[in-house]
Structure 1
Amino acid sequence: MTSLTEVTIQTTETVAKELPGPTRDDVLLPSDLNTVFLAILVLFSALTAAYIAAEVILPVVLAVMLKLLLQPGMRFLGRLHIPRSLAALFLILAVFAIIAGIGTAVSSAAKSWGERLPDSLPRIEERLRFVSEPIEKMHRLLAKADNMGQPAAGGGSNLGLTETLFRGTQHFASGLFETILVLFFLLISGDMFLRRLVEIMPRFKDKRQVVDISQQVEGNISAYLLTITFMNALVGVATAVVMWGCGVGDPVLWGVVAFLLNFVPIIGPIVGIALFLFAGLLAIPTLWQALLPAGLYFAIHILEGETITPLLLARRFTLNPVLVVISLIFWFWMWGVPGAILSVPMLAITKIICDEIRPLNSIGHFLEGDAT
């Protein structure tokens, strides 16, 4: 009789033969434990530095992402014989002019919705009475648990709202200035870092390999970021059209909201469904019609996330969904909302780099998801 261990070994060997992936000859593994421990130590040190110096490193990471996103535009302007400094300045001004224009267009609409909210809450609560009782019970339990951990009143000092907002605005302005400054110098530097790296290489074969890998990595990363940004913009446009068709006001505002939320995997769409459900209940009198905006937004997200984007990115850009969730949680803990937005692009960039550098191919294969 065949033992359970033998059956398990045979099954594992069969699955291993069927699964595609790099062979032993294609993947270079560390030859000793010292290399592994050194790599773990370097990784731990880098993450510790990223956490402690987040105010410095986060603008740099964001600037690098924007540089890769704007690189095709720099090449196009370079073919027109426009100086790099002027081209970089033009692209930066164009990007932030678009952002400022959209922000100005939606700010008044967002303020209007905020002013309508207090007067509309009783009506929404009345329409959702069938779910309000469980929510109230949960709220009471959470409040009770929160009060158990509260210190006695009278000993603390409260920071004024005005001072809090001022500090937040000051922090945002400082980070924005640092990002723009680093982005400008990254754009005008061009291939300076690549040239210095090529000059260090001792042999011509190594120089050529460095150039090939660098160009391939940069091209793939730019293609990935452009594809994701383009698809998120399409989601925003489709959502704006849906909100306009459903009779919800300010479709541009909701399109921008959908565009931004789509950069945050998993959590973004969940927040979007809640927001569009709330907007529908606030703007549409009939209950079933009020549920339509959230349902159509969910359908748009499924169509984009499960069909169109995977087809455009192909297998080489697909990621392990478990690692996507872990990356999202980790970088949200490290850097907050900006970390959550950058988590998937950073994971994809890591995979692209590992795919192009032979000793790291095994890591790239581990990060890869199943083709759909």
Structure 2
Amino acid sequence: MTPMDDAPRPGDTSEVPEADRLSLPEPFFSLEARVAQVGIFVIMFAAALYIARDFAMPVTFAFLLALVLSPIVRRMRRIGIPEVLSAAALVVLFLATLGTMVWFLADPVQRWIADAPQFAAEFRDKLTLFRGPVDQVLEASKRIEESATAGVPAPQRVVVEQGGFISEAVVGVPLIFAKIALCVVLLFFLLASGDMFYEKLVKVLPTLSDKKRGVRIAREIEREISHYLLTVTVINAGLGVALGLAMWAVGLPNPFLWGLVGGLLNFLPYVGAFLSAALVAAVSFVSFNTVGEILLAPGVYYLVNAFEGQVITPALVGRRLEMNPVAVFVAVAFWGWIWGIAGAIMAVPLLVIVKTVADYIDGYAALGEFLTARTTEEKD
């Protein structure tokens, strides 16, 4: 048995043993100086992430994927497959999965873009009953404005022409492919390097006990994060299938498109479920006529999402990695502000990394406690 084998398993609710924690030296600065240092660091770190987003975003995503796939590479090495071959196979599988998703989405997305004007017109027509009072208020406001500006020459308007969608796409596509290439190449090297990080860690730490403890902690952090990310990915894939079947059962147009959208958006905690349910509600509003039919699709969509969030995810992810909802929401908002939709998707995995590292380092246990959801005893 190696020092890594006796680490606690993911989902274990027991406290991290004191012997498994890394001790950091006590700070010799005052509390005010430490708070100021942290504040300055956070501001500079956020600015650097925003400025370097085209580089930092694919690099971060590659490291997250490597955390998920590294245990697979290690298992394949145990049966005699070299890291380079297993890394190449996993990268090809990742690209094939990404290409399949793009191929599956291309046709329905193109059709929805083509039908968008008609969809918007039908949506406006169905809102006619609710627009009457609003139109009257807008008309009255327009008349008041015209009477107030009577006799005053209208200012000359300056129109600044902007590039169209095609020109923006032509400029943006090379950058997107460059990000994907950077992510894929870095992912390959991370997977092909095998246990190089652990070997370097053993060389850096001074004593034998520190070497054993450091390797044990690093392996446990990798195990927990890999368990979380892989489990959530499988859950969201299953959720997409369940949502697609549910929307097919209620007769919603393009049901499996909305299932795929729901599975992808579920990587965004809270916000993703709301956005996908709102899209389904809008499509249902246009597609059906009676109130019962209109409410059925979003109602079923919400029930499936609620069952996944309240039952499936807590049961499979484990109580140990349940996160504070406030911390999750702030993390999603922050990373979404810094990196857009990709940052919002990576927010929770990054928060799990911070929480897991804090659990194993003395002096940061309080941070890990704040990031953890309330236990049953605390609720009582």
Inter-CA distance 31–370: structure 2 relative to 1 (3 Å threshold): farther
Flag structure 1 segments of 5+ consecutive residues without an equivalent: 1-19, 141-150
Match of 1:182 among 179, 183, 186: 186
Question: Does residue 1:82 correspond to 2:81, yes or no?
Answer: yes
The range that moved more, 40-49 or 302-311, is 40-49
Where does residue 202 of structure 1 map in the other structure? 206
- Look up the equivalent residue of 1:167 and give its one-letter code: V
CA distance in 1, matches of 2:301, 2:134: 24
Question: Does residue 1:64 correspond to 2:68, yes or no?
Answer: no
CA contact (8 A) 2:74 2:194 kept: no
Q: CA deviation digits over 1:38-69, x for unaligned, max 9? A: 45544444333212211111111000111112
Match of 1:267 among 263, 266, 271: 271
What's the TM-score, normalizing by structure 2? 0.81
Q: CA deviation digits over 1:306-362, x for unaligned, max 9? A: 222122223211111111111111111111111111111111111011112233212
SS in 1 for 2:364: helix
Where does residue 14 of structure 1 map in the other structure? none
Where does residue 117 of structure 1 map in the other structure? 116
Flag structure 2 segments of 5+ consecutive residues without an equivalent: 1-13, 140-154
What is the Cα deviation at residue 133 of structure 1? 5.4
Inter-CA distance 281–53: structure 2 relative to 1 (3 Å threshold): same
Inter-CA distance 132–234: structure 2 relative to 1 (3 Å threshold): farther
The range that moved more, 180-189 or 49-58, is 49-58
CA distance in 2, matches of 1:276, 1:262: 14
What is the Cα deviation at residue 234 of structure 1? 1.6
What is the Cα deviation at residue 248 of structure 1? 1.8
CA contact (8 A) 1:221 1:349 kept: yes
CA contact (8 A) 1:318 1:371 kept: no
What is the Cα deviation at residue 168 of structure 1? 1.7
What is the Cα deviation at residue 159 of structure 1? 2.1
Question: Does residue 1:366 correspond to 2:365, yes or no?
Answer: no
Match of 1:217 among 221, 227, 235: 221
CA-based RMSD of the aligned residues comes to: 3.0
- Look up the equivalent residue of 1:275 and give its one-letter code: L
What is the Cα deviation at residue 237 of structure 1? 0.9
Give the alignment of 1:122-271 within 5 angstroms. 122-132=121-131, 153-154=157-158, 156-271=160-275
CA contact (8 A) 2:221 2:356 kept: yes
Match of 2:345 among 327, 338, 341: 341
CA contact (8 A) 1:213 1:357 kept: no
Where does residue 282 of structure 1 map in the other structure? 286
Inter-CA distance 130–71: structure 2 relative to 1 (3 Å threshold): farther
- Look up the equivalent residue of 2:245 and give its one-letter code: V
CA distance in 2, matches of 1:316, 1:86: 34
CA distance in 2, matches of 1:349, 1:134: 52
CA distance in 2, matches of 1:134, 1:157: 35
What's the TM-score, normalizing by structure 1? 0.83
Give the alignment of 1:272-311 within 5 angstroms. 272-311=276-315
Aligned residues: 343
CA distance in 1, matches of 2:192, 2:238: 30
CA distance in 1, matches of 2:134, 2:307: 31
Give the alignment of 1:345-356 within 5 angstroms. 345-356=349-360
CA contact (8 A) 2:242 2:304 kept: yes
Inter-CA distance 73–134: structure 2 relative to 1 (3 Å threshold): farther
Q: Percent identity?
A: 33
Match of 1:357 among 355, 361, 365: 361
The range that moved more, 360-369 or 310-319, is 310-319
Question: Does residue 1:97 correspond to 2:100, yes or no?
Answer: no
The range that moved more, 37-46 or 54-63, is 37-46
Inter-CA distance 105–137: structure 2 relative to 1 (3 Å threshold): farther
Inter-CA distance 57–188: structure 2 relative to 1 (3 Å threshold): same
What is the Cα deviation at residue 125 of structure 1? 2.9
CA distance in 1, matches of 2:280, 2:138: 22
CA contact (8 A) 2:126 2:286 kept: no
CA contact (8 A) 2:243 2:259 kept: yes
CA contact (8 A) 2:355 2:371 kept: yes
SS in 2 for 1:358: coil
CA distance in 1, matches of 2:326, 2:132: 35
- Look up the equivalent residue of 2:76 and give its one-letter code: L
The range that moved more, 186-195 or 307-316, is 307-316
Where does residue 331 of structure 1 map in the other structure? 335
Which is helix-richer, 1 or 2? 1
